[in-house]
Amino acid sequence: MDIAVEKSISHLSRFVSPQLLASERYVELGGSLAQIFPLGRIQLGSVVLFEGESNSGATSAVFEFLSSGGIRRNWSALVGFENLGFLAAFEKGVDLGKVVSVPDPGRDLAQVVAVLTEAFRVVAIANPRFISSSQARNLTSRVRVNKSIIAIVQQGCDITGTRGRGLWPGSYDYWISSSISGFTGLDRGSGFIKERRLSLSLGSRRGGATRSIAVSI
């Protein structure tokens, strides 16, 4: 190569930054969640809130997420789910062979989550406790770098009120509200519940209209 040409192109690295492929920045979703997430995918490095009243189906919504598209092909960790229904997760399509459960991390929750985000694509936390605002910011920065996802599950908590026990003291990129919208299998005074109909609504800090969908669980 001509010396003059070599010198001229040696300076290009200061002006050209490496580009990430879309597959390195997003995970394609499937099923019902693909219908409410923009372009049917979720950006890596995100914090997602799954919230609702007690027995609102928020945990079922997380199972829907873990079994969705490219998420299912990756390893996930469930933290703080002390009474986890593995059968329910399996029936929703979650690959239990790629799920690790830490039922009770105690006061080391922030440290446990920090380690898990290094190795797992998704780390789901049930009603997080013992995490300070500074720790939440550090964990958010960590998932941005690691291209992982934190899923926060808050049931029976009012995210619009004063933050207290079981609330994530940080920001969210997406939030999914769940509620039970009906049942099938019951008749007048007889029958058994065969399915519950779950209503899911998605919001995003990037704005745009809230998207909703109904699924059976």
- What pLDDT was estimated at residue 160? 42
- What pLDDT was estimated at residue 187? 61
Angle at 119 between CA 124 and CA 130, to 5 degrees: 45
| Tally of domains within the chain | 1
185 in a structural domain:
yes
Give the whole-angstrom CA distance, residue 9 versus residue 101: 51
85 in a structural domain:
yes
- Specify which residues 48 forms β-bridges with: 151, 174
pLDDT above 90: residue 179: no
List, for residues 132-146, the tens digit of each pLDDT value.
999 999 999 999 999
List, for residues 22-33, the tens digit of each pLDDT value.
557 899 999 889
103 in a structural domain:
yes
3 in a structural domain:
no
Average pLDDT, the chain: 80
Give me the mean pLDDT over the 82-104 stretch.
Answer: 91
Domain that residue 91 falls in: 41-156+165-216
139 in a structural domain:
yes
Beta carbons within 10 angstroms of residue 169's beta carbon = 13
- What pLDDT was estimated at residue 113? 96
Written as one letter, the residue type at 166 is G
pLDDT above 80: residue 106: yes
Find the CATH number of the domain harbouring 123: 3.40.50.300
Q: Which of 46, 73, 48 is nearest to 58 (CA)?
A: 48
- What pLDDT was estimated at residue 40? 93
pLDDT above 60: residue 174: yes
154 is written with which tokens?
């808050």
DSSP codes joined into one string, 120-145: -SEEEEES--S--HHHHHHHHHHHHH
127 in a structural domain:
yes
List, for residues 188-201, the tens digit of each pLDDT value.
665 555 566 778 88
Helix (H, G, I), strand (E, B) or coil at 20: coil
Alpha helices in 29-132 (DSSP H): 33-36, 58-66, 69-72, 86-91, 109-119
| Range among 20-24, 28-32, 148-152, 182-186 with highest mean pLDDT value | 148-152
10 in a structural domain:
no
pLDDT band at 13 (very low <50, low <70, confident <90, very high): very low
Contacts of 36 (CB under 8 A, 6+ apart): 200, 201, 202, 211, 212, 213
Percent over 70 (pLDDT), the chain:
72
122 in a structural domain:
yes
Task: With beta carbons less than 8 A apart as the criterion, state whether 33 and 64 touch.
Answer: yes
